[in-house]
Structure 1
Amino acid sequence: MGKKFYVVLSMLFIFALVLVGCKPKETSSVVSSDKTWYLYQDQGENDTVSIKFLKDQRAEIKDITTIDGKVGINRFNNQFDNPQYVLNRDGKTITFKTAKNNLVLKIIKNYHENVYGKHMKGYYVQSGGQTYKFAYITKRDSKSNISKSLKKKSQSIAYNQLFDHIINVDSNTTPLTDNDNLIGNFYFSTIINYRRTDGNLTINQNGTYQMTLTEHSAQKLSDETDSKVVMTTLVESGNVQNLYGKMYLTPKNLVTIDYYYHGQNQDRLLPKSVNLKVDSKATGNQIGRAKIRIEADGDQLYLYSSDYTVRVKDGQTNTKANLLTKTDTTQTNLKDAITQTKDYYDKYQDNPLTSNADLMQLVAAISDNHNKKIGSIGVNFGDQYGTNLQPSDYQGISVNGSQQPAMQYIFLVSPSSYSENGPAVTTTKGKFLIYGSLDNKLFLLKQPDKDSTTVTWTMVKDFPLNVPELKFTLN
């Protein structure tokens, strides 16, 4: 009986191993589908790639402008054919053998989201050191729902009218008692959607709070150095509530300040938009984030949220939440954050160019609003760019052989894949588009003869160096 039992147990164990071994790999499921997959960041409004898997381990890859876009530029292999793909043994990596540089996608975790009425399902993936969304459309909302959603997401409002919609968090509050350790200013570090985030939290005796989050660009969790690129500042205010014996942060206002991030000058950020969301009886809860609670663990305070990936700090005893550390630093009030952003933007408009970095940021911001193009030439700020240049090193010669005036500020950027055969200048580090400014006009450096060192500056037509409008919206 004993031998039979062990024989049966061994058979079951082997059978279980076979089942585990037969479990389909994630990448196998991806390539066997007849869906069109989309590779994108944020809401897929720019720099989107569509991928459709074909027979014979090939794929049709197109650079398109938006999710579900029909017109695009195909990525081929060196034989101008649809590229082949290879699946790594880890079951998570797909390599597309495209011309010049392979496109490599590594699956991180599952992803689903409603993007402007399109229900997307797939994965977060890593590619080229950045995090992307890789998903297909499962269904589309009706046009009426989409239009309502878009209207709600982009309801423009005058700057001075925004303040009329901010909820007064000081009314109907419950003062905090026997919670002196909660009162004061705290800072913390966390990760939100692969964005390293610096947080500041202020809790007041009257039962109100304010939290400010500064999100940097998405990066791998294994990276040891945080990205310097600032994507968003969020300022949230609300009430502290004692629920179920625990302290919860209930938001009433959320101000989101987005910045231009391509070619960003971190010393002088250019704000892109200011949005206000509120939670009121009239509008309902527009903020829609996961619950946040604060708990004491010994002599340490911790912040819990399912939206946040924990960043463990030295001396932290609880690794399941984000450690709150006391600080004397005070936050900028939510209303003042809006006012200061507007004042800062107005001063930026008055004097937008003071350095090479300013020129690069401004040109990148304008190109963001013109399909990633500078004039008629596509640029790729996701590749290489730089400002460590001296205008005196790029002396231009006009058609008649005379010297052109020196540029005031200059920068370089990689051309987009379909612009590489255009006016890019060949350097020791590759081909680059080199731009300069003079008298508030933009110029492009060109080589009349590819086998000569002679260069000339040509004005970029229909590309005024105007600072893009700062948009104020209400949700």
Structure 2
Amino acid sequence: MSYEKGLIDMGKKFYIVLSVMFLFCVILTGCQKKETSKIVSSNKTWYLFQDQGENDTVSIKFLKDQRAEIKDITNIDGKVGINRFNTHFNNPQYVLGRDGKTMTFKTAKQDLVIKLVKTYHENVYGKHMKGYYVQVGNENYKFAYITKRDKANISKSTKHESQSISYKQMANHIIDVNQNTKPLSADNSLIGNFYFSTIIDYRRTDGNLTINQNGTYQMTLTQHSAQKLSDTTDSKVVMMTTVESGNVQSLYGKMYLTPKNLVTIDYYYHGQNQNRLLPKEVNLKVNSKATGNQIDRAKIRIENDSNQLYLYSSDFTVRTRDNQANTKANLLTKSDSAQTSLEDSITQTKDYYDQYLSNPIASNADLMQLVAAISDNNDKKVGNLGVNFGDQYGTNLQPSDYQGISVSGSKQPLMQYMFLVSPSAYSENGPAVTTTKGKFLIYGSLDNKLFLLKQPDKDSTTVTWTMVKDFPLTVPKLKFSLN
């Protein structure tokens, strides 16, 4: 065999080996499980949501035969919801895209198409979520399942039923904290008003604590909406204010706060006007021999450490402050601000609400807050359209920029107040107005009636206002309840 022929034969063999290796790599790559295949083969409940999953949330369970159970629910981990079926009222089938990133669910009204973007994990109200950032249409969503639940979140899911009472009755149920107290010495460093900052269930919280020489205390906490611990800016949305009163007790050589009364004032928070909050409910819990212990919280104690006062509680996540030596507790700082008493907090909330009723809409922000509050009590709908205050909303609108034209061609009266909000997933194909920042429902009010802006022709700037039927702009009733 010649030298040249030997080289040719070796070249052929080398080419064959390379071809086999290339084919093997192709087969191996093709056999690797794609992201969407991993998702549908998992025995988990997945949640499709925006923001913190408090509105317009969808749960998805993957079944056999390439079908899925899809439900519209109120929040993450919600058990009750409305099923999305196919045209035959069965659980819809799904199709996985060849790119390994797209899932299409064949639902009746419109296909639900989810496209994976990148991995995602977050702690949402004590639920550890893991999954993906995704796109649904032109909207950004989160698509994830629960990996574990924090204990604090589990304990709060087992709430006692509260009973409605009248405002006038509430004061009769407040426990007198001045009975059977043990006064503190006049020179005790605990006496006075203190300020502290902490986190409760991922909510940045402002705290005020007053300890009196007669051995009583009061603590007021204002909780803002939940956010990541790593966020550098505090949320402005106010979720609730709690006012707690009780006795200071010396136990085990330490000072403990023993609660007797707890008033919780909940606020409407979707589309909230922070300059003029709308209270939703006032609830009273008490600890007494007659009722038992209704106030469910961890022990709170106060200690002096290196001439600094610290508040300890396993319910609180510590927010360290400048010059804080002990980073395992919440630093108490002396304050000149006196608190509103627990009794007065109830009275003032009622008086404030009554004043609110007399003039509920005086700005764009007022209108948005009121409509959002009414929609919260109406299955997140304004009229028959779903709204998503968990996405985008705003009040920076001028009525003169939205001159409506009637069917006859005449100018309509200008609105008095306006706001815009993202539509829910089911309302995207409705009368939403398309802007450079997405689709929005634009609402206005005139003579205490609500109107919706519509665009008769999508390729024209002509708009018209139509009244929203069966949606009176009535302030929701303030509830008073007792546990």
TM beyond 0.5:
yes
3-state SS of the aligned residue for 1:190? strand
Q: What CA distance in whole angstroms lies between the structure 2 residues aligned with 1:88 and 1:429?
A: 24
Mapping for residues 136-151 of structure 1, pairs under 5 Å = none
Pair 1:73–1:321, CA change in 2 (3 A): same
Q: Shift in Å at residue 452 of structure 1? A: 1.0
Q: Deviations over 1:150-175 (max 9, x none)?
A: xx523000001000000000000000
Query: What residue in structure 2 maps to residue 136 of structure 1?
Result: none
Show the counterpart of 1:190. 198
For 1:46 and 1:415, the matched residues in 2 are separated by 11
Return the match for 1:351 from 359, 366, 380. 359
What are the superposed Cα offsets for residues 370-418 of structure 1, whole Å, 9 maximum, x if unpaired? 0000000000000000000000110000010000000000000000011
CA displacement at 1:324 relative to structure 2: 0.1
Aligned residue number for residue 465 of structure 2 = 457
Checking the alignment, whether the CA contact within 8 Å between 1:175 and 1:205 is kept in structure 2 is: yes
2:132 to 95, 106, 123: 95
Residue 40 of structure 1, CA deviation = 8.5
- Note if 1:269 corresponds to 2:280: no
The alignment partner of 1:180 has SS state of coil
Q: How far apart, in 1, do the equivalents of 2:269 and 2:84 lie?
A: 25
TM-score, structure 2 as length reference: 0.79
Deviation at 1:38, TM superposition (A): 6.2
For 2:136, give the aligned amino acid: A
Change (3 A) 1:301 1:59: farther
Which deviates more from structure 2 when the two are superposed, residues 48-57 or residues 280-289? 48-57
Which of 150, 160, 164 aligns to 1:111? It is: 150
- 2:365 & 2:278 partners in 1: Cα distance? 12
User: Is it true that 1:298 corresponds to 2:306 in the alignment?
Assistant: yes
Structure 2 counterpart of 1:68, which letter? K
Equivalent residues of 2:49, 2:141 under 8 A apart:
no
Three-state SS of the structure 1 residue aligned to 2:168 is helix
TM-score by length of 1: 0.80
Q: Secondary structure at the match of 2:164?
A: coil
Cα 1:58–1:190 change in 2 (3 A) is farther
RMSD: 3.2
| Mapped partners of 2:402, 2:115: distance in 1 | 42
Pairing partner for 2:477 from 449, 469, 474: 469
Change (3 A) 1:47 1:474: farther
Residues 31, 194 of structure 1: CA spacing in aligned structure 2 closer, same or farther, 3 A cutoff? Answer: farther
The alignment status of 1:391 with 2:399, answered yes or no, reads yes
Q: Give distance in 2, aligned partners of 1:38 and 1:102.
A: 10
Aligned to 1:68: 79
**What is the CA distance between 1:111 and its match in structure 2?**
2.9
Aligned to 1:134: none
TM-aligned CA deviation for residue 190 of structure 1: 0.1
Counterparts of 2:134 and 2:324, CA distance in 1:
45
Deviation at 1:59, TM superposition (A): 6.3
* Matched residue, 1:253: 261
Query: Is the deviation greater in 400-409 or in 43-52?
Result: 43-52
Which of 158, 170, 173 aligns to 1:165? It is 173
Verify the 8 A CA contact 1:86 1:94 in the aligned structure 2. Answer: no
Shift in CA distance, 56/94, structure 1 to aligned 2, threshold 3 Å: farther
Show structure 1 runs of 5+ residues with no match.
1-27, 120-148
- TM-superposed CA distance for 1:54, in Å, is 4.6
Equivalent position to 2:59, from 50, 57, 70? 50
Q: Which stretch of structure 1 is more off in the superposition, 66-75 or 183-192?
A: 66-75
What is the one-letter code of the residue matched to 2:205?
T
Q: Distance in 1 between matches of 2:277 and 2:219?
A: 21
Determine which structure has more spread, i.e. the larger CA radius of gyration: 2
* One-letter amino acid of the counterpart of residue 131, structure 2: I
Size of the aligned set, in residue pairs, is: 416
Equivalent residue, structure 2, for 1:310? 318
Q: Distance in 1 between matches of 2:39 and 2:304?
A: 44
Is 2:328 the partner of 1:320? Answer: yes
Identity %: 73
Deviations 1:174-216 (A, max 9, x none): 0012752100000000000000000000000000000000000
